[in-house]
Structure formats: structure tokens, C-alpha cells
């Protein structure tokens, strides 16, 4: 039987003894190093016959032997893309693990995303230390600052070389990880020994091979508050309709989870399940039925849902090259109002778009723990000379996932599976609005 391992690039052999003072003995009450070669099975669910081959991820964590000499290590940290709860926690954890754990003394923080690495953008770097980042996790957002959009990988690596940086931690989403991949490839081309380690940040929870991304649970909790407001508004007026647009360009995880947490939603619309408005099976007909039954309706829509409906419009792109989505929230709002005005039975619709409030929230305690451990494992990975990877979580185990795998496709809700089943069960909505 064969294990098909995910590829984790390494800068070279590990010959330096780790300063972490962990143990390799069991039952000595001292935490252990992770032994090289430890893996976790990716697909642990099967039917009838156990498969003969498994894809695995390498398990993350501190190793007894490391690649970099801590006294010569110079680290850099950059945060990119939109805000997400927990960024400061991750940065603080990386700084603390580097300085307290490995006694690394030189840690640079780049300001405002990849732009902060490129000298021509003119941002000064910040010297980071445990003292400096002590209170960073009291607030949401990113104290380093962030920005969108790519920079030239060669120019970034030039700058990193000039600063003698030999490990770069990038906290960011899809575009950021592609940027990290580009720096990594450039470093291989130049044979410059630098560890490029990503910490995946996507409030949408849509990175593949990562069971959960940091900030997601906090976002779901805050999104649920907005849904509760919509419910209260809908209940407070005759024929009240509460409409909430939540994040989720390509995956409806926040919409699905926040709706489940609330439990009083009548329709959830996600990118993974297309819908139409008109017709007996359409959304408007469903809302009409709910208004007749309850005198109110609550609808939650992920920002990426119903893009086919908006398809007549010509595409726009933002600075990062992401296609700008036409706003399904306002479109739905005016469609619902217009429809019921025509039926001479108008609705009281209240539209809530809480995105910036959600993004700026401070990490919940659970996310704070998760961020801390992501940061620790990112440092462990870098110190052993791993590069071109992100830190993932799989089967409750922290993992190393090749950047190439992480950005190969997005994670989406599978309408065949149990999450969507629970959503449909809760709303009572038909499997599709068609």
C-alpha cells in the first residue's frame, strides 16, 4: 500500500540543534518534537473497502534538528489583502515564537502588504519584537497595514536580499499566496536560500486542503448578529423582509454557517447553488409564501451568489486583478421591492451589508488560539528550511501544504454533503430555486 505524499520543498539538510528544549521521550511530561516523516491522511472517510493508496500531508511542528542558525536568521513578515479577524494575532505569534522560542533577534515588519517590500513604494519597515507587538491582539485589523495587488517578484526578492532576510512570512489570501509562490520560484531560480511560508487568510474559508481558516469563526459570529438584526427588523413591520449580504465571492461558507447559527433564516443563497427569481420555483415565489405564512421573511445572500443573473453586465476588475462582482445584495433588494410593489402587496424591506464591521472584528478566543498555533507552526516550518508552503489544518492536525496545492483550486460547499443538508433543513427552502 502506498502513501502519496504532498510535496514539501526543503532548502537543505537540518544540522542545527533546535534551542526549544523539547523532548523525544514519551511520558516524561515534556512536550515532544515532531519526528520527521509524520503524516496525516487526507481522505479519512471511505465506504466499505479501505483504499490502497492515500494522499497525505506532512504534519507541522517543531523538529529536533533545524536548518537555520537562529543567531543569523533575519525574518520578515507581511500582511496582504482585505482585513480578517486574527491577523494581528498571527503576526504576534510569529514574532513571539521567533524571539522567545528560537531567540531570533532580527524581525522586520513590512507595511501595507507587498507594496511595503518594494523600496519604490517608500514605506519604512518596522523592527518587531515581543515588546513591540505585546498589545497588537487587543484590536482587530492589521497593525502592519495591508494592501491589495501584486508586486514584481524579482523586485521583492531583490529587496529581501538587500535586507539579508532569509525567511518571509506572508499572511494573506489567494492572490497573496500566488505572490508568495512567485517569490518562492524566483528564489529557487536564483538559489537564494530563503524560506517562504504562507499563513492562509481568507475570511471566506475557501482555500483548498485547509479545513478552516483563521478569522472564519469570528466572522460567522459577527455575521449572525447582522442576521438577527434583519430578523428583528422583519418581525417589526408588516410584511417585513430582512435581507443580509455576507462575504463569499466563490463559496457560501459564511452565509451557510451564520444562517445555521441564527436558525431563523428562510432562504440562503450561495454561489454553489444557482437560483432564479421568477417562476413558481423561484425565490420571489418562496418569499411570497413565507410572507403569507409568517408575515415576514429573512434572506441571506453570499456576495458571489447569482452571478449568472447579473451576467448581462460587463466585467470589472479590482487592483489585485480579482473580477469585481456586481452587487447581488442591492440587486436582490430592488428586485424584491419591485416585484411586490407590482403585486399591490408591498413589502417592508431592510437591507444590511455588515461586511466591514465583520472584517474589522477582533478575533474570538477560539480564533485567537488558532492564530497563535498557526504562527508557531509557521516559524517551526521556516526554521527547518521548509519553503513554498502554507500552514494548514486537517483532521485537527496542523500540516504543511505546498503553495502550489493550496492555490490550485478553491474550496466550495458541496451541495451533496451535510453542511448544505443542514442549511436546507433549517430554512425549509427547496434544494434549488428553479
Closest among 205, 199, 421 to 302, alpha carbons compared: 205
Q: For residue 426, what are the CA distances in angstroms to 218, 264, 303, 430?
A: 22, 8, 21, 11
Do residues 114 and 183 make contact, with C-beta atoms less than 8 angstroms apart? no
With respect to a copy of itself, which residue has the nearer C-beta, 73 or 361? 361
Q: Considering the complex, what minimum distance in angstroms separates the CB of residue 371 from a copy of itself?
A: 10
- Point out the catalytic residue in the list 204, 206, 353, 405: 204
Q: Let me know if 153 is exposed, middle or buried by CB neighbors in 10 A (0-12, 13-18, 19+).
A: buried
With respect to a copy of itself, which residue has the nearer C-beta, 211 or 307? 211
204 tagged catalytic: yes
Residue 44 neighbours by CB distance under 10 Å:
9
Local structure of residue 114 (DSSP, 8 states):
G
Q: Considering the complex, what minimum distance in angstroms separates the CB of residue 238 from a copy of itself?
A: 5
Q: Which residues of 93-126 are buried (b: 16+ CB within 10 A; e: fewer)?
A: bbbbbbbebbebebbbbbbbbbbbbbeeeebebb
Q: Considering the complex, what minimum distance in angstroms separates the CB of residue 100 from a copy of itself?
A: 7
With respect to a copy of itself, which residue has the nearer C-beta, 315 or 365? 365
Residue 75 neighbours by CB distance under 10 Å:
27
Q: Which residues of 248-268 are buried (b: 16+ CB within 10 A; e: fewer)?
A: bbbbbbbbbbbbbbbebbbbb
Residue 151 to residue 408: CA distance in whole angstroms = 20
Q: Where are the alpha helices (DSSP H) in 62-152?
A: 87-96, 130-133
With respect to a copy of itself, which residue has the nearer C-beta, 13 or 48? 48
Q: Considering the complex, what minimum distance in angstroms separates the CB of residue 114 from a copy of itself?
A: 12
With respect to a copy of itself, which residue has the nearer C-beta, 78 or 194? 78
Q: Considering the complex, what minimum distance in angstroms separates the CB of residue 54 from a copy of itself?
A: 6
Active site residues: 204
Amino acid at each position: 500500500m502506498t502513501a502519496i505524499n504532498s510535496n514539501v520543498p526543503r532548502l537543505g539538510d537540518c544540522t542545527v540543534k533546535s534551542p526549544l528544549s523539547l523532548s523525544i521521550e514519551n511520558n516524561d511530561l515534556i512536550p515532544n518534537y515532531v519526528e520527521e516523516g509524520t503524516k496525516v491522511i487526507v481522505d479519512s472517510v471511505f465506504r466499505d473497502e479501505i483504499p490502497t493508496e492515500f494522499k497525505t500531508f506532512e504534519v507541522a511542528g517543531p523538529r529536533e534538528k533545524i536548518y537555520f542558525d537562529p543567531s543569523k536568521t533575519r525574518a520578515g513578515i507581511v500582511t496582504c489583502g482585505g482585513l480578517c479577524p486574527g491577523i494581528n494575532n498571527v503576526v504576534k505569534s510569529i514574532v513571539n515564537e521567533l524571539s522567545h522560542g528560537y531567540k531570533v533577534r532580527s524581525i522586520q515588519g513590512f507595511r501595507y502588504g507587498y507594496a511595503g517590500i518594494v523600496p519604490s513604494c517608500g514605506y519604512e519597515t518596522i523592527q518587531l519584537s515581543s515588546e513591540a507587538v505585546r498589545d497588537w491582539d487587543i484590536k482587530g485589523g492589521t497593525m502592519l497595514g495591508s494592501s491589495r495587488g501584486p508586486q514584481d517578484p524579482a523586485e521583492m526578492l531583490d529587496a529581501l536580499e538587500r535586507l539579508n532576510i532569509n525567511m518571509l512570512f506572508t499572511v494573506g489570501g489567494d492572490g497573496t499566496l500566488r505572490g508568495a509562490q512567485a517569490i518562492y520560484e524566483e528564489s529557487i531560480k536564483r538559489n537564494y536560500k530563503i524560506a517562504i511560508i504562507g499563513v492562509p487568510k481568507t475570511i471566506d474559508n475557501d482555500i483548498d486542503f485547509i479545513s478552516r481558516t483563521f478569522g472564519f469563526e469570528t466572522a460567522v459570529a459577527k455575521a449572525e448578529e447582522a442576521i438577527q438584526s434583519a430578523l428583528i427588523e422583519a418581525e417589526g413591520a408588516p410584511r417585513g423582509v430582512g435581507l443580509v449580504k455576507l462575504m463569499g465571492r466563490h463559496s457560501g461558507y459564511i452565509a451557510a454557517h451564520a444562517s445555521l447559527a441564527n436558525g431563523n433564516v428562510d432562504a440562503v443563497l450561495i454561489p454553489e447553488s444557482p437560483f432564479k427569481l421568477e417562476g413558481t420555483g423561484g425565490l420571489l415565489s418562496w418569499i411570497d409564501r413565507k410572507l403569507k405564512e409568517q408575515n415576514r421573511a429573512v434572506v441571506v445572500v453570499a456576495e458571489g451568489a447569482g452571478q449568472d443573473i447579473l451576467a448581462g453586465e460587463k466585467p470589472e476588475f479590482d487592483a489585485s486583478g480579482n473580477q469585481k462582482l456586481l452587487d447581488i445584495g442591492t440587486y436582490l433588494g430592488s428586485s424584491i421591492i419591485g416585484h411586490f410593489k407590482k403585486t399591490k402587496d408591498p413589502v417592508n424591506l431592510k437591507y444590511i451589508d455588515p461586511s466591514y464591521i465583520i472584517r474589522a472584528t477582533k478575533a474570538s478566543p477560539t480564533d485567537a488560539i488558532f492564530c497563535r498555533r498557526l504562527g508557531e507552526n509557521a516559524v517551526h516550518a521556516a526554521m527547518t528550511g521548509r519553503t513554498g508552503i502554507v500552514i494548514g489544518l486537517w483532521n485537527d492536525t496542523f500540516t504543511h501544504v505546498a503553495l502550489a496545492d493550496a492555490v490550485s483550486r478553491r474550496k466550495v460547499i458541496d451541495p451533496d454533503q451535510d453542511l448544505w443538508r443542514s442549511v436546507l433543513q433549517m430554512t425549509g427552502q427547496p434544494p434549488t430555486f428553479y
